[in-house]
Amino acid sequence: MNNTNHDILVAKGCHGARKLKGTIVVKGSKNDALQALAASLLFGSPLTLTNVPAIEDIARLGNLLTALGVAITEDKKLGKKSLTLDTSQLHSATLDDDIAKKLRASIILTGPLLARRGEAHFPHPGGCVIGERPIDLFLDGFAKLGASITIRNGRYHLTAPRDGLRGAEIFFRNQTVTGTECFMLTAVLTKGQTVLKNCALEPEIESLGKFLVREGARIRGLGTTTITIDGGPLLKSLRPSYEIIPDRIEAGSFLILGALLMRELTITRCEPGHLDAVIAFLRSAGATIKIEPRQIIIRATPRQSYRALPLTTHEYPGFPTDLQALMAVFLTQATGESRIFETIFEGRLGYLETLARMGAEVHIHNQHQATVGGPTLLTGREVTSPDLRAGLAYLIAGLVAKAETIIHNVHCIDRGYEKIDERLAMLGFNIKRHHSP
Ligand code: EPU
Cβ proximity of 164 and 118 under 8 Å = yes
- Look up the pTM and report it: 0.96
User: Which ligand 1 atom minimizes the distance to the CA of 133?
Assistant: 11
Cβ proximity of 429 and 420 under 8 Å = no
Any bridge partners for residue 307, and if so which?
335
Domain boundaries, the chain: 8-27+246-434, 30-243
pLDDT in tens, 415-424: 999 999 999 9
pLDDT in tens, 342-370: 999 998 999 999 999 999 999 999 999 99
Q: Which residues does the chain have with pLDDT short of 50?
A: 1-3
Residue 381, phi then psi, degrees to nearest 5: -145, 175
Q: Of 135, 177, 248, 326, which is best to mutate to test ligand 1, by the most ligand atoms within 8 angstroms of its C-beta? A: 177
* Residue 137 beta carbon below 6 angstroms from any ligand 1 atom: yes
Closest CA to 324 of 246, 383, 389: 389
* Residue 324 beta carbon below 6 angstroms from any ligand 1 atom: no
> What's the CATH fold of domain 30-243?
UDP-n-acetylglucosamine1-carboxyvinyl-transferase; Chain (3.65.10)
CATH architecture of 8-27+246-434: Alpha-beta prism (3.65)
Q: Of 136, 174, 387, which is best to mutate to test ligand 1, by the most ligand atoms within 8 angstroms of its C-beta? A: 174
Q: What pLDDT, on the 0 to 100 scale, is given for residue 437?
A: 65
Q: How far apart are CA 240 and CA 86, in angstroms?
A: 11
Q: Of 176, 180, 182, 253, which is best to mutate to test ligand 1, by the most ligand atoms within 8 angstroms of its C-beta? A: 176
* Residue 133 beta carbon below 6 angstroms from any ligand 1 atom: yes
Residue identifier of the C-alpha nearest atom 19 of ligand 1: 176
Q: What pLDDT, on the 0 to 100 scale, is given for residue 6?
A: 86
Cβ proximity of 119 and 156 under 8 Å = no
CA 254 to chain centre: 15
Q: What pLDDT, on the 0 to 100 scale, is given for residue 1?
A: 36
Q: How far apart are CA 148 and CA 43, in angstroms?
A: 25
Fold equal for 8-27+246-434 and 30-243:
yes
Active-site residue list: 128
* Residue 318 beta carbon below 6 angstroms from any ligand 1 atom: no
* Residue 344 beta carbon below 6 angstroms from any ligand 1 atom: yes
* Residue 131 beta carbon below 6 angstroms from any ligand 1 atom: yes
Q: What pLDDT, on the 0 to 100 scale, is given for residue 160?
A: 98
Helix locations, 200-302, DSSP H: 203-214, 248-261, 276-285
Cβ proximity of 355 and 331 under 8 Å = no
